[in-house]
Structure 1
Amino acid sequence: QDFITGAYLMTHKDTFFERSEACRLAASIIDCNDKKQIRLHLPTPAIIKPTRLWTGKQLMELIISNDSKNPLKLNLSVPNKSFTSGMELCPKDSFVIIRNGQLICGVLDKSLLGTASKKNIFYILLRDFGEDAAIDALWRLSRMTSTFLSNRGFSVGVGDVLPRVQVLMEKSKLLREGYKKCQEYIDQLKSQQLKVQPGCTLEETLEASILQELSSIRDKAGKATIGNLSKLNSLLTMAISGSKGSYINISQMIACVGQQAICGHRPPDGFDRRSLPHFEKSQKTAKAKGFVENSFFSGLTPTEFFFHSMAGREGLVDTAVKTAETGYMQRRLVKCLEDLCASYDGTVRSSCGDIIEFAFGEDGLDPALMETSDGCAVDFSRQFEQIHNSLPFSDDKELNQSDMESLYKAVVDVELGKSHLEFQNRLKNFVDEVIRKSLATYKIPSLCRDHRNGSPVHRRGNMCAQCYSQEKYRKAQIRAHCFSRSQFIGFLEKCCEKQKKAVIEPGTAVGAIAATSIGEPSTQMTLKTFHFAGVASMNISQGVPRIKEIIDAVKAISTPIITANLVNNHDEKLARQVKARIDVTTLGEICDYIEEILTPHSVFLLLKLSGKRIKLLNLEVTMSSIVQSIACSKSYIAFRASQITVVGKSMMIIRPPTDMKYSICTTMQIMKQSLLKVVVKGIPNVKRCMVHRDERCGDNLRIIVEGSDFRGVLSQVGIDPCHTSINSPVVMAEVLGIEAARKCIVNEVLSCMEAHGIGLDRRHVMLLADVMTHRGEVLGITRNGLAKMKESVLLLASFEKTVDHLFEAAFYSQKDPIRGVSECIILGVPISIGTGMFKLLQEMPNPIITPKEPIFLKEEFGLEV
């Protein structure tokens, strides 16, 4: 954290050092215990007069490489953490450009120094220049930044959290407007004028609206606070650099703490229809429901302190429970995947020889060596930039399209041949784009407009001044967008070299790596349930419970969600019709009344249907279909079609059965209550169904179904079955097969990780999905699933139910071939992974050894042979 803050402050535009200070910082990177002599060369000072000054950016050059004879030519162009817009002349200096190891512009922060991302400087040094270069650079950064901070000074005081008058005025204004808006929502609820959100009740709509309004108060107050802070504020420096804290923490300390949430909602009523005994009953105002308008600087009131403690307790419990859950989950993952390794034929096999994958991750590449976030081995744009900056542009003849295509075939065919076809296609597309830009660049004229038109012009010396400028412009554009022959060949060779280097090494323990890659990030998740995107009342399990559901292969998951695309994604009328076919509609929702009719000769129920409601809900029902639904319904008293008589277009008479078990009054009441619950339209297992407009996909309409009847939804007219999915792998396997279940596992795990901002290579998840589905059914990573995957007695005994497995193996005289990791560790046998995949025989000399007489042939033993 100190190193990130120090590097951030050093690389500011206004950070300058005199010669003495620059030399002292440069000397701080030398390790006194290192016996190797180092000669440091200070770069040319940025300012010569009136006094020579060096910038912090120039000293960063010594951190990347301190060898002036063979410097590391690192090239990088990436935005940092606080980048907004504008690559050139960025107002916050937040676009970082490094050319041949020199920091040209930009401020270094956590995104380039501290995060485990592909654009981290130390990761690029590790990948392109080796481990020693990355370690040395990290050591040099820690020494220089700590020396800089110890002399500059960096501390936090009360003055850093003291709010200005403008902030307090803005905060009071926001609170007045927010409280007024919340009161309007409450009044609308009381007067039944509140507009209900899709899929929500009135109460849920009120809570969602108030929560949104109060959250905006905290956000706006935080923006006003950040805008009024000095750039020298220590808290702001730490938040911007990413070393500690965030903007929300600063706004809570200075402006207001904001809404306290428990399980994603406002604090519930617990003291006889009130959240705390300090408030009136059934009160729904902001203060009574956990909104803290004070800041930590001004101090919290008693009620605010109670609400804050309630929300804090949830976080503590969440952390404690999550640690145990994720630890056990990682142990199960490691046990099931520990014996998987990459073989020499490119397949991934288990210890008993079963093929799990024909190629690791479908392409056989090592995830650790991927350069892009989407899992590609080579970032062509960065490699293009690296070649342009590290290799000089030779003044060869201009390469035309045929020259570049012939060079491409000559280099790629020799390096790769017919392997890595997907990589070759992507490389060919990039080269085609370079050729297109090169041809456009070569068309830039080298003469001025007058000379091109053939008119006489005034010359300066031997050349027209405008022609000279035009020629310089043309050469600059060619150097920026085109390749020379040597650069083009170097680019192709480097790309092919990186692709071949990225192939997974035989013997790599891909199973153990995948298990830890999935298990370790899960410790950063939460146990909370999140709202489904765009639907306030629909919750979906996320975090640790969701990952646990997937890898345990739970059939009845907690929140089954079916996402169905329509045949016509823009037809709202079709969407409403499909929703009406899927959503459960009961008879009580479409009838005006059910009356008990008692006459001297007969007793029956008179039911009147509401044609207006049926039309409003787009229901495709008729009187005969309603009669059939009543007859097929299951209730305490069975209905028969003979008991029902249709009268007119909207009325029917239902008579009680002749064989009544109860009295006539009780029977009529049971019949009346049962009729209200009869499902006349929809899929019975569906809890809720709604039309969702996806703004990310061009306002396409989709049907979101909360339920597990996937087969029933697929069979509906108007649903596109090719683009309809459910978030349950087990149900997916039952309906669409094991391949669809494998794809579902991959998508669900990756989406769950992405929801928490965790990047995970898809190859690890694909291996997990293949292990769970390679037997033809979805097996959970549990003791039962492990017993179906593995046959080793010692492996099963080392996991759970040790005595049971050993007793059963002894009773049935089972054999264990001792091939897996756990078995070999128990018996002290070398593991057949990595260097243990093959056996080495040492060639021994053949000495002449005279055979000795066996001891049992001697006379004293008395044996006759």
Structure 2
Amino acid sequence: MIEREDGRKTNLAYLADRFMIQLEAGHKVIRHIRDGDYVLFNRQPSLPNMSIMGHRIRVMPYSTFRLSLSVTSPYNADFDGDEMNLHVPQSHQTRAEVQEVMLVPHCIVSPQGNKPGMGIVQGTLLGCMLFTQRDTFLQRDFVMNLLMHVGDWDGVVPEPVIHKTKPLWTEKQIFSLVLPPVNLIRFNITHPDDENTDISPGDAKVFISKGELVCGIIDKKTVGTSANRLIHVTWKEFGPRVTDKMISQIQVLVHNYVLHQGQSIGIGETIADEATMRNVIQTIQNAKDEVKDLVRKAQEKELTLLPGKGMMEAFETEVNKALNGARDKSGLSAQDSLLKSNNIKRMVSAGYKGPFINISQIWAYVGQQNVEGKRIAYGFTRRTLPHFVLDGLGPESRGFVAYPGGADNAEYTQ
């Protein structure tokens, strides 16, 4: 459609011969957006300035906005039906500002904390950890498939590390193809604090030399949003465009690897072995016995008061301390009993989703449920639920949930 200076509009869809129309200075051409146009994308509430960023679009079918997974972090966007807004610049000045100031590569490092505001997240993190493990090798056909997804591949296949009886490549070799010539030495999540050796026995020390991943498992601590890690160092040394390209290529490569290898969780991976279960049950019983002893001391006024707290406040503090301590103890034993091949442990170790406390709650027990830092208050007349005794002070009657053998009525209700 063409709009003239006097306001008259001509719809080109209804013209038999479009060559009859001559564009003159002052005419406006109104068209649909097309691939490569610059737009502004926004998710409310717009709290930081990175809540609205510039993107280059690709027109796709249907009525859903689609964007790279790594870009969702600055928007604070998740996947439960978020509403986002698209703004199309109408002038050359606005388009220039979007392209040079607000485009995603220029917003990788947040001005708020001087560290990356976006990085590798969720499934790609887990894929990075699986892709860079020490004990995995790739055969020729799989290597050829992965090389087709390396954006700047020069056509030269890396030399295999094993030639006999058949050529095998390490996944670190393929991962190195998407890295710029950066130098980096960092530790990943699983690195022990007391380990000071040059080479980590558990491959927990990440060493990148001139873009070659020599050793180390890539996880959230390396490609996440922490300061002075791979993304931040690449941004400082090579600029936003190279960093943006690296993030995109890591996502494409790792996604195709996970697509072929697969990652799933079975119910068997959530069930602890017999020795761990016995230890958990014994820990729960010891915690309950300790709470009973605290109840007796409080009733007989033998409980040691804490500074600035009365009898009941000191009692509640000691009960919470005992129950939470038991949860942490049983959780550590459950974590130690899990194999490295356990897929839930892999997810937590890679930084994909959830802290290690989730492992404790799955294999051991959920623990004490607190509301505003306190145990569950009496909701009925002097009790939390109708099937508890009056003025009950025990763990179960005040929100303690432990179901290693299944949930009872009270735990199900809570």
TM-score, length basis structure 2: 0.67
Q: Which amino acid aligns with 1:96?
A: V
- 1:236 equivalenced with 2:236 (yes/no): no
Partner of 2:413: 306
Alignment of 1:313-712 (within 5 A): none
1:74 paired residue among 160, 182, 185: 182
AA of the residue aligned to 1:110: K
Match of 1:183 in 2: 292
Q: Which amino acid aligns with 2:188?
A: N
State the 1:87 CA deviation.
4.1
The percentage of counterpart residues that share the same residue type is: 28
For the 8 Å contact 1:160–1:234, the answer to whether it is kept is yes
Match of residue 208 from structure 2: 98
The corresponding residue for 1:54 is 169
Query: Does residue 8 of the first structure (1) align with residue 116 of the second (2)?
Result: no
Task: Give the Cα separation in 2 of the matches to 1:203 and 1:231.
Answer: 44
1:284 aligns to 2:399 (yes or no): no
Counterparts of 1:19 and 1:119, CA distance in 2 = 35
Within 1, Cα distance between the matches of 2:142 and 2:182? Answer: 26
Q: 1:144 aligns with which of 245, 253, 259?
A: 253
| 2:367–2:402 contact (8 Å) kept in structure 1 | yes
Task: Please give the alpha-carbon distance, in whole angstroms, between the structure 1 residues aligned to 2:156 and 2:227.
Answer: 30
Tell whether the 8 Å contact from 2:147 to 2:153 is kept in structure 1 after alignment.
no
**Residue aligning to 1:674:** none
Whole-angstrom distance in 2 between the partners of 1:244 and 1:187 = 41
Instruction: Give 2:39's aligned residue.
Output: none
Distance in 2 (alpha carbons) for counterparts of 1:219 and 1:284: 22
In 2 relative to 1, CA 119–80 (structure 1 residues): closer, same or farther, beyond 3 Å? Answer: farther
User: Any gaps of 5 or more consecutive residues in structure 1?
Assistant: 31-36, 65-71, 308-865
| Correspondence 1:269 to 2:375 | no
Q: Deviations over 1:421-463 (max 9, x none)?
A: xxxxxxxxxxxxxxxxxxxxxxxxxxxxxxxxxxxxxxxxxxx
- After superposition, the C-alpha distances for 1:60-104 in whole angstroms (9 at most, x for unaligned) are 21010xxxxxxx321111111222232433243222111111111
Determine which of 156, 159, 162 is the counterpart of 1:44.
Answer: 159
Map Cα deviations across residues 442-493 of structure 1 (whole Å, 9 max, x no partner). xxxxxxxxxxxxxxxxxxxxxxxxxxxxxxxxxxxxxxxxxxxxxxxxxxxx
State the SS of the aligned residue for 2:370: coil
Letter paired with 2:413: F
Matches of 1:172 and 1:117, distance apart in 2: 39
CA contact (8 A) 1:239 1:246 kept: yes
TM-fit CA distance, 1:165: 0.9
Shift in Å at residue 11 of structure 1?
A: 0.7
What is the CA–CA distance in structure 2 between the aligned matches of 1:278 and 1:94, rounded to whole Å?
Answer: 51
| Shift of residue 50, structure 1, vs aligned partner | 3.5
* 1:87–1:150 Cα change, 3 Å: farther
Aligned residues: 291
Once the 2 structures are TM-superposed, how far is the Cα of residue 237 of structure 1 from its aligned partner? 0.8
Question: What is the Cα deviation at residue 38 of structure 1?
Answer: 4.7
Query: In the alignment, which residue of structure 1 is the partner of 2:220?
Result: 110
Question: Given residue 113 of structure 1, which amino acid in structure 2 is its aligned partner?
Answer: V
Contact 1:87/1:95 (<8 A) preserved: no
- Higher gyration radius (CA): 1
d(CA) in 2 for partners of 1:18 and 1:109? 24
TM-superposed CA distance for 1:232, in Å, is 1.6
Partner SS state of residue 371, structure 2: coil
C-alpha separation in 1, matches of 2:133 and 2:246: 20
Q: Would the aligned equivalents of 1:78 and 1:119 in 2 still touch at CA under 8 Å?
A: no
Q: Deviations over 1:559-588 (max 9, x none)?
A: xxxxxxxxxxxxxxxxxxxxxxxxxxxxxx
CA offsets 1:289-316 (integer angstroms, 9 cap, x no match): 1000115xx5422322332xxxxxxxxx
Mark the CA change 1:42 to 1:122 in structure 2 (over 3 Å): closer, same or farther. Answer: farther
Contact 1:257/1:293 (<8 A) preserved = yes
The amino acid across from 1:195 in the alignment is T
The 1:274/1:150 distance shift into structure 2, 3 A limit, reads: same
Residue 139 of structure 2 aligns with which residue?
18
- Unpaired segments of 5 or more residues in structure 2? 1-121
Residue 246 of structure 1 aligns to a residue in which SS? coil
Q: 1:196 to 1:38 in 2, by over 3 A?
A: closer
- The structural deviation recorded for 1:257 is 1.1
Q: Which has the higher contact order (CA 8 A, sep 6+)?
A: 2
Q: Which amino acid is 1:82 matched to?
A: T
Q: Determine the C-alpha separation between the residues in 2 that align with 1:190 and 1:38.
A: 74
Structure 2 counterpart of 1:176, one-letter code: Q
Q: Is the 2:369–2:401 Cα contact (8 Å) retained in structure 1?
A: yes
Partners of 2:268 and 2:288 in 1: CA distance: 30
Structure 1 residue aligned with 2:333 = 224
SS at match of 2:185: strand
- Looking at structure 2, the residues matched to 20 and 270 of structure 1 have their Cα atoms a distance apart, in angstroms, of 64
Q: Deviations over 1:109-137 (max 9, x none)?
A: 112223x2213322222221012211221
CA distance in 2, matches of 1:264, 1:91: 41
Q: Aligned partners of 1:40, 1:223: CA distance in 2, in Å? A: 48
Could you tell me how far 1:20 is from its partner in structure 2? Answer: 2.5
Q: CA deviation at 1:2?
A: 1.7
Counterpart in the other structure of 1:789: none
Task: Tell me the distance in 1 between the aligned counterparts of 2:200 and 2:384.
Answer: 49
**Aligned-pair CA distance for 1:24:** 2.0
Higher helix proportion? 1
The residue number in structure 2 matching 1:567 is: none
How far apart in 2 are the matches of 1:224 and 1:20?
Answer: 42
SS of 1:97's equivalent?
A: strand
1:171 deviates by: 0.9
The aligned residue for residue 191 of structure 2 is: 83
TM-superposed deviation, 1:181: 0.9
Equivalent-residue separation in structure 2 for 1:174 and 1:187 (angstroms): 20
Q: CA deviation at 1:230?
A: 2.3
Contact 1:81-1:240 within 8 A present in 2 as well = yes
- Given the alignment, which residue of 196, 207, 229 partners 2:305? 196
- Listed one character per residue, the Cα deviations across residues 721-757 of structure 1 (whole Å, up to 9, x for unaligned) are xxxxxxxxxxxxxxxxxxxxxxxxxxxxxxxxxxxxx
Q: 2:200 and 2:247 mapped to 1: Cα distance? A: 27
1:83 maps to a residue whose letter is H
SS in structure 2 of the partner of residue 108 of structure 1: coil
CA contact (8 A) 1:74 1:101 kept: yes
List per-residue Cα deviations over 1:515-560 (Å, max 9, x = no partner). xxxxxxxxxxxxxxxxxxxxxxxxxxxxxxxxxxxxxxxxxxxxxx
Cα separation, 1, equivalents of 2:272 and 2:340: 15
AA in 1 matched with 2:314: T
User: In the aligned structure 2, how far is the partner of 1:238 from the partner of 1:285?
Assistant: 35
- Matched residue of 2:349: which SS? helix
Q: Which residue of 1 aligns with 2:92?
A: none
Work out the CA distance in 1 between the residues paired with 2:155 and 2:409: 61
Match of 1:250 in 2: 359
Residue in structure 2 matched with residue 657 of structure 1 by the alignment: none
Secondary structure in 2 aligned to 1:96? strand
Q: Deviations over 1:134-168 (max 9, x none)?
A: 12211211111111111111111211112211121
Q: Which amino acid aligns with 1:84?
A: P
Amino acid paired to 2:215 = C
Matched, 1:130 2:244: no
- 1:769-799 deviations in whole A, cap 9, x for unaligned? xxxxxxxxxxxxxxxxxxxxxxxxxxxxxxx
Question: Residue 35 of structure 2 aligns with which residue?
Answer: none
The question of whether the paired residues in 2 share the 8 Å contact of 1:19 and 1:53 is answered with yes
Contact 1:111 1:119 in 2 (8 A): no
The structural deviation recorded for 1:41 is 2.9
Matched, 1:63 2:178: yes
Q: Distance in 2 between matches of 1:81 and 1:189?
A: 43
